[in-house]
Amino acid sequence: MTDVTEATEAAAEPGRTPLVELDDVSKYYGNIRALEGVSLEVHAGEISCVLGDNGAGKSTLIKIIAGLHQHDAGSLRIDGEETRLGSPREALDLGIATVYQDLAVVPLMPVWRNFFLGSEPTKGSGPFKRMDVDLMRETTRAELLRMGIDLRDVDQPIGTLSGGERQCVAIARAVYFGAKVLVLDEPTAALGVKQSGVVLKYVAAARDAGLGVVLITHNPHHAYLVGNRFVLLKRGAMSGSYARDEVTLDELTRQMAGGSELDDLRHELESRTP
């Protein structure tokens, strides 16, 4: 795994335009504030981590970047151009691939079929036009190996893979289809320690391949292992934004755990202790 500090320095070259930049972005549903005043930069070869508990606004942020929802205020820039994404297809055409927590795979279909799902290459013409199964099998195997994923058999149903392996297939698919920005929605949330480590390894591999990665997580330990930048959300607003050299893991964990609110609660509980 490439040293995170070196990746940060490389990504921080003066004058580099972010692949994606959110500036003071807000989103409202009627009178409900889902997101307000959030800023985020995503650079090539860098992992930007967005941390927050349930209800912090992480899902809304994902939907804005992925083109599912449009922002109501602020600006969204892609490659320096101000943009309002109208659909996930538009985001994908601009190089933004989103891997959701449920992965949107067909469990009983083989790995290679899920790898190309919706983008199947064909051969022949007219009534003889058909899917190029051999090409899909070989490409899937080669692309997974290129990411360091050595599957026993790409013909096995993807549902037989572990959660970590399925996440890795989704990451390799996004890289193959030309994503410049990879948004990962809680990729380690339902995984154990070992499988989480496997996924983080491939998240770092995507970064090392030159992609800009947005890692959505509630786990500061996972974020700090690979992250270059950290944005903390709380009740739809930013509670902190740091480069890696500006914050320690302990401080990141403290803020995720509640920060000053946790200290106030500790004092209150201690004062009530008989």
Predicted confidence at residue 248, as pLDDT, reads 92
Burial class (CB in 10 A: 0-12, 13-18, 19+), 184: buried
Predicted confidence at residue 228, as pLDDT, reads 95
How large is the average pLDDT for residues 9-27? Answer: 77
For 165-187, how does the pLDDT look when each residue is reduced to its tens digit (9 = 90+)?
888 898 899 889 989 999 999 98
How large is the average pLDDT for residues 63-90? Answer: 93
Q: Which residue has the higher pLDDT, 257 or 127?
A: 127
Contact 45, 69 (CB under 8 A): no
Domain limits, the chain = 4-108+177-272, 109-156
Strand pairing partners for 42?
20
Contact 154, 111 (CB under 8 A): yes
How many Å apart are CA 43 and CA 9, to the nearest integer? 11
How many Å apart are CA 217 and CA 235, to the nearest integer? 15
Return the DSSP state at 208: H
Strands 20-29 and 229-234 come out as unpaired
Average pLDDT of every residue of the chain: 86
How large is the average pLDDT for residues 137-157? Answer: 88
For 195-246, how does the pLDDT look when each residue is reduced to its tens digit (9 = 90+)?
888 889 989 989 998 999 999 998 999 999 999 999 999 988 998 899 999 9
How large is the average pLDDT for residues 238-259? Answer: 87
Rounded to the nearest 5°, which phi and psi values hold at 91? Answer: -65, -40
How many Å apart are CA 137 and CA 14, to the nearest integer? 42
CATH homologous superfamily of 4-108+177-272 equals P-loop containing nucleotide triphosphate hydrolases (3.40.50.300)
**Gyration radius from the chain CA atoms:** 20
In the three-class reduction of DSSP (H, G, I as helix; E, B as strand; rest coil), residue 158 is classed as: helix
How many Å apart are CA 214 and CA 75, to the nearest integer? 18
Which residue stretches of 68-154 are H helix? Answer: 88-93, 111-115, 133-146
Predicted confidence at residue 165, as pLDDT, reads 86
Strand pairing partners for 47?
213
How large is the average pLDDT for residues 82-86? Answer: 92
